[in-house]
């Protein structure tokens, strides 16, 4: 080899080495893009970080602010202090990023990946693991989730869902008939009728609607199913109480210490899953095959019967409290405004009521039953001008976003008109209210729930005058979902005949 070719070979080697070093440096920089490296790359705006204690994070601050029941308000206060995006470690080992602006929330959904991953309550995950329990859609991940989600999207979200209407109508009318009969009796004594155990009644109604959609309303006339549903409503209702008590304690520790809160939770979930499965068996036995309900549709889509059972139990659990509490909030808002009740009744007599639509949107905006939606970022992401590393838990603060004056003018006022499609003066940002989330992992029951809410609220406005009897203003607390801080006391009187049309 000559001198020149030796030199060329040495230069080539040097170039290759340099390239390798640069590539290595670049990939290091990319993969370990921590807050430290953010300082090297000034184009990202830093995210305000709230300092906490080692291990405990800011848990003590949360406890001082009222603990888990007030978490939505605690986070709301943080947003007011630190802005639409900030980091905080509420406990555990990792920060979560909280986001409350319409634009940033949208950006998170756009980058949620093919298999969006949401945080699951620790107690439930631990229970499923301990009992080797396979669960429905909410707990599924990856390809299994996507496969089943696509099937359910076709049946519950997309296209024409009119087949559900008769089932929802029958269940809702039964509830309204009961209320009307009792209101008429009270009227004979010159009294109003105060709805007893409203929470339980709405719970029962939302579970019945779901059974109707799954197997046809016919099954609800079976006495054994009615008895089983009565028992099931009571126990499923307690799941959320037990789970919320475990929210600030690692379930493994609670189990090791044999704490009562864990034993109660475990016993309760055992019962719910067993009873739920038993109801499904009863319904399968009692259904009429010519009734085209969800069960037959899933069988026709080649979903194995065992998987259908798994999916159904979790649909019932997911539907029960979300729909029951959203309708409670909407009834509460309706009961505060007698003029609105009349205007809705009048509009409804002529057809669709835009006001009713707006009222339901307002209830979901002000009282989102899920006040936080979580996503683990599947890769490093740029959200607005901020950098968020892969695997970070991002929590979208729906409660705050829905009450932000930057999104909604006079945010605490109930203004159904703000949702009018034709209103060119819209001053709000509709995407700041996302009660069902958006994106691939959004609520599969959105259209079912909205159909239910429209029917119930519309019929109530048409048939009754509603009045709220609570003496103190009703506020929200978090018990897994956002619930009223006191028993809601609603009184009914019969609507005068002139406005009662289209019942």
Residue 149 engages ligand HEM in binding (rule: CB under 6 A): yes
Cβ–Cβ < 8 Å for 326, 451: no
Count of residues binding ligand HEM (CB under 6 A)? Answer: 25
Residue number of the CB closest to ligand HEM reads 445
The secondary structure element, H or E, covering residue 50 is strand 49-50
Residue 444 engages ligand HEM in binding (rule: CB under 6 A): yes
Residue 445 engages ligand HEM in binding (rule: CB under 6 A): yes
Could you give the CA distance from residue 121 to residue 130 in angstroms, rounded to a whole number?
14
Could you give the CA distance from residue 244 to residue 363 in angstroms, rounded to a whole number?
23
Q: Is 23 annotated as a binding residue?
A: no
| Contacting range for ligand HEM; rule: CB under 6 A; set: 1-9, 68-76, 281-289, 441-449 | 441-449
Residue 318 engages ligand HEM in binding (rule: CB under 6 A): yes
3-state secondary structure of 196: coil
Residue 312 backbone phi and psi in degrees, to 5: -65, -45
Residue 137 engages ligand HEM in binding (rule: CB under 6 A): yes
Question: Which residue of 239, 370, 457, 461 would you call a contact of ligand HEM, by CB under 6 A?
Answer: 370
Closest to 493 in 3D by CA, of 177, 179, 178, 197: 179
Question: Which residue of 322, 353, 392, 397 would you call a contact of ligand HEM, by CB under 6 A?
Answer: 322
Token pair, residue 17, equals 């080495």
3-state secondary structure of 88: strand
* Residues from 105 through 124 that contact ligand HEM (CB under 6 A): 118
| Distance of closest approach, residue 14 Cβ to ligand HEM, in angstroms | 53
Could you give the CA distance from residue 445 to residue 161 in angstroms, rounded to a whole number?
12
Question: Which residue of 435, 462, 466, 480 would you call a contact of ligand HEM, by CB under 6 A?
Answer: 435
Residue 437 engages ligand HEM in binding (rule: CB under 6 A): yes
Could you give the CA distance from residue 364 to residue 325 in angstroms, rounded to a whole number?
10
| Contacting range for ligand HEM; rule: CB under 6 A; set: 78-86, 178-186, 267-275, 445-453 | 445-453
| Distance of closest approach, residue 323 Cβ to ligand HEM, in angstroms | 5
Pairing state between β 49-50 and 85-88 = parallel
Question: Which residue of 138, 163, 376, 420 would you call a contact of ligand HEM, by CB under 6 A?
Answer: 138
| Distance of closest approach, residue 369 Cβ to ligand HEM, in angstroms | 5
Could you give the CA distance from residue 21 to residue 40 in angstroms, rounded to a whole number?
19
| Contacting range for ligand HEM; rule: CB under 6 A; set: 23-31, 157-165, 189-197, 312-320 | 312-320
Residue 309 engages ligand HEM in binding (rule: CB under 6 A): no
Residue 373 engages ligand HEM in binding (rule: CB under 6 A): yes
Question: Which residue of 101, 111, 323, 476 would you call a contact of ligand HEM, by CB under 6 A?
Answer: 323
Which residues have CB under 8 Å from 61's CB, separation 6+?
52, 74
Token pair, residue 49, equals 């970080």
Residue 371 engages ligand HEM in binding (rule: CB under 6 A): no
The secondary structure element, H or E, covering residue 147 is helix 142-152
DSSP letter, residue 466 = E
Residue 443 engages ligand HEM in binding (rule: CB under 6 A): yes
Residues 155-194, one symbol each (x = binds ligand HEM by CB under 6 A, - = not), give ----------------------------------------
Could you give the CA distance from residue 118 to residue 281 in angstroms, rounded to a whole number?
30
283 burial type by CB count under 10 A (0-12 exposed, 13-18 middle, 19+ buried): buried
Which residue's entry shows tokens 């299994």? Answer: 144
Residue 449 engages ligand HEM in binding (rule: CB under 6 A): yes
| Contacting range for ligand HEM; rule: CB under 6 A; set: 166-174, 419-427, 430-438, 471-479 | 430-438
Alpha helix ranges (H) inside 336-444: 338-350, 354-366, 398-402
Residue 137 backbone phi and psi in degrees, to 5: -50, -45
Question: Which residue of 331, 436, 465, 480 would you call a contact of ligand HEM, by CB under 6 A?
Answer: 436
In terms of CB distance, is 183 or 322 closer to ligand HEM?
A: 322
In terms of CB distance, is 355 or 373 closer to ligand HEM?
A: 373
* Residues from 210 through 239 that contact ligand HEM (CB under 6 A): 210
Give the side-chain half-sphere CA count within 13 A for 108: 34
Residue positions forming the annotated binding site for heme: 443
Residues engaged in binding ligand HEM (CB under 6 A) = 118, 137-138, 149, 210, 314-315, 318-319, 322-323, 326, 369-370, 373, 435-437, 441-445, 448-449
């Amino acid at each position: 080899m000559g001198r020149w070719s030796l030199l060329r070979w040495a230069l080539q080697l040097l170039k290759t080495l340099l390239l390798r070093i640069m590539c290595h440096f670049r990939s290091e920089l990319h993969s370990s893009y921590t807050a430290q490296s953010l300082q090297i790359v000034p184009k990202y705006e830093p995210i305000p970080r709230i300092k906490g204690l080692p291990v405990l994070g800011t848990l003590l601050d949360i406890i001082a602010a009222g603990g888990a029941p007030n978490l939505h308000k605690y986070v709301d206060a943080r947003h007011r202090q630190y802005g639409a995006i900030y980091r905080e470690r509420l406990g555990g080992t990792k920060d979560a990023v909280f986001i409350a602006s319409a634009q940033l929330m949208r950006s998170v959904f756009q980058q949620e990946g093919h298999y969006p991953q949401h945080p699951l309550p620790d107690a439930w995950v631990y229970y499923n693991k301990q009992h080797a329990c396979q669960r429905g859609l909410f707990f599924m991940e990856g390809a299994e989730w996507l496969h089943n989600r696509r099937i359910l999207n076709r049946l519950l979200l997309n296209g024409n869902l009119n087949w559900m209407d008769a089932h929802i109508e029958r269940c809702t009318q039964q509830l309204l008939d009961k209320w009307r009969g009792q209101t008429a009796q009270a009227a004979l004594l010159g009294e109003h009728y105060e709805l007893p155990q409203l929470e339980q009644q709405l719970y029962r109604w939302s579970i019945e609607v779901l059974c109707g959609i799954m197997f046809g309303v016919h099954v609800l006339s079976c006495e054994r199913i009615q008895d089983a549903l009565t028992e099931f409503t009571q126990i499923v209702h307690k799941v959320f109480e037990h789970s919320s008590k475990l929210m600030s304690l690692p379930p493994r520790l609670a189990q090791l210490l044999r704490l009562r809160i864990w034993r109660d939770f475990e016993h309760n979930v055992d019962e719910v899953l067993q009873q739920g499965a038993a109801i499904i068996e009863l319904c399968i036995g009692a259904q009429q095959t010519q009734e085209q309900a969800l069960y037959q549709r899933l069988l026709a889509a080649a979903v194995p019967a065992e998987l259908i059972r798994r999916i159904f139990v979790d649909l019932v659990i997911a539907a029960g409290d979300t729909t029951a509490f959203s309708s409670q909030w909407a009834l509460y808002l309706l009961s505060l405004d007698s003029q609105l009740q009349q205007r809705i009744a009048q509009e409804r007599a002529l057809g669709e009521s835009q006001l009713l639509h707006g009222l339901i949107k307002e209830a979901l905006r002000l009282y989102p039953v899920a006040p936080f939606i979580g996503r683990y970022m599947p890769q490093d992401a740029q959200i607005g001008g901020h950098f968020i590393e892969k695997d970070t838990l991002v929590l979208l603060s729906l409660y705050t976003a829905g009450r932000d004056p930057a999104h909604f003018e006079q945010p605490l006022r109930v203004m159904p008109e703000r949702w009018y499609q034709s209103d060119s003066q819209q001053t709000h940002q509709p995407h700041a209210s996302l009660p069902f989330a958006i994106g691939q992992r959004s609520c599969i029951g959105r259209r079912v729930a909205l159909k239910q809410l429209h029917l119930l609220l519309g019929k109530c406005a048409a048939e009754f005058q509603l009045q709220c009897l609570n003496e103190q203003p009703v506020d929200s607390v978090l018990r897994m979902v956002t619930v009223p801080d006191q028993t809601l006391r609603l009184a009914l009187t019969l609507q005068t005949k002139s406005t009662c049309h289209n019942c």
